[in-house]
Amino acid sequence: MQIAILGAGAWGTALAIALAPRHHVCLWARDKAQVTVMNTRRENPLYLADCPFPEALQVTSDFTTAVTSADLLILAAPLAGLRPLLEQLRQLSQLSTSATPAPRRFLWVCKGLEAMTGKLPHQVVTDVLDHAADATATPSWGALTGPSFAFEVAQGLPTALTLATTDITFATDIAHALHGGNLRIYANDDLIGAEVGGAVKNVMAIAAGVSDGLGLGHNARAALLTRGLVEITRFGMALGARRETFTGLTGLGDLILTCTGDLSRNRRVGLLLAEGQNLTAIQHTLGHVAEGVFTAREVAQRAAAMGIDMPITAAVAGLLDGRTTPRETVHQLMARDARTE
């Protein structure tokens, strides 16, 4: 396939490296200077250093060329950039006079709930496409998600992902096309479940990082993961997801990786909070987006409005908002009344 990956952060770059040996891949970045550096050095030193590009991988800052020549788009912007990127695609489609307009087959790889709206990525997509001039045809789109560190994908290490859509035929076809090498892709039609698992596990990773940073031990981390999975499942099912999705790659699998792996940005946020560092300074130090910071507040608010009990999520949101300290947060959770499991 001709694949355009829109966004040259760590994850977009990793996917481009992984897919380029088997497909015609074009990696698009908005920053012309960054594109020049990547084409010169044949790597992305800003977000994914020491991961060389395959010879066939193309890198460009020309949005129109990247999009109109593609059979499939992979939207690799952070969640905050998803809506602007979709608007840009919609505008291109409306202005296009080409006989082959921008493709309607696309995937997104961001995880979380949109700040201020509390919407999952597919709801953001629907918001934009419902107002598109060419919205008469149902688009084929979905989420590519699961337990995956960008660096390991770029290194060619074995990784299993889920392609979740509401159209299992589309999911199966695209999963089959992308599947290969050390990248294993499973098709799934529980889009809500896949997105909720990918979003809320980042919140739990912050909690796990705090626990590890305070030296609370493996027992505490195991308890956090277990009860965190309960919260993720409870929230997801209230939104219409299936319970079994949360025992798969996008639920338990992603939770384990993000809460225990040293490459986890969200776990790193928790570790630094436990050291007493300021959240703003932490985010600046990371140099990458830690989606759990924004998602925690949105999930906590949405859960409260729906009457869903999510004590760990609420505690993390309070910590991030500066209403409690790490040790006070742990004390509040441990002081909760005993109950049945």
| Cα–Cα distance, 255 to 249 (Å, whole number) | 9
Angstrom distance (rounded) from CA 124 to CA 137: 18
Is there a binding annotation on residue 291?
Answer: yes
Do the bridges between strand 105-108 and strand 140-145 make them parallel or antiparallel, or are there none, so unpaired? parallel
Q: Tell me which residues are annotated as active site.
A: 201
208-225: b or e for each residue (b if 16 or more CB lie within 10 Å)? bbbbbbbebeeebbebbb
Helix axes of 121-129 and 79-95: crossing angle, nearest 10 degrees = 20
Q: Does the annotation place 10 within a ligand binding site? A: yes
Ligand-binding site membership of 264 (annotated): yes
In eight-state DSSP terms, residue 245 is: G
> 56-60: long-range contacts (C-beta < 8 A, 24 or more apart)?
56/20, 56/21, 56/24, 56/25, 57/16, 57/17, 57/20, 57/25, 57/27, 58/24, 58/25, 58/26, 58/27, 59/8, 59/26, 59/27, 59/28, 59/29, 59/35, 60/26, 60/27, 60/28, 60/29, 60/35
CA angle 191, 260, 306 (to 5 degrees): 40
The Cβ of residue 290 has, within 10 Å, a number of other Cβ atoms equal to: 23
Question: Is 47 among the annotated ligand-binding positions?
Answer: yes
Structure tokens belonging to residue 170: 């589309």
Answer yes or no: is 134 a known binding residue.
no
> What letter does residue 48 receive in the DSSP assignment?
B
Residues 6+ positions from 247 with CB-CB distance below 8 Å: none
CA pair distance 246, 188, nearest whole angstrom = 12
Pairing verdict, β 159-164 and 140-145: antiparallel
111 is in an annotated binding site: yes
Query: Binding site annotation covers 7?
Result: yes
Question: Are 159 and 181 contacting, i.e. CB atoms less than 8 angstroms apart?
Answer: no
148 carries a ligand binding annotation? yes
The reply to whether 118 sits in an annotated binding site is: no
Is 201 assigned to a binding site?
yes
Q: Answer yes or no: is 289 a known binding residue.
A: yes
Q: Which residue has the tokens 């660096």?
A: 151
Q: Residue 37 corresponds to which amino acid?
A: V
Residue numbers in the known binding site for NADPH are: 11, 30, 47, 111, 150, 265, 289, 291
Residue numbers in the known binding site are: 7-12, 30, 47, 111, 146, 148, 150, 201, 254, 264-266, 289, 291
Residue numbers in the known binding site for NAD(+) are: 7-12, 150, 265
Residue numbers in the known binding site for sn-glycerol 3-phosphate are: 111, 146, 148, 201, 254, 264-266
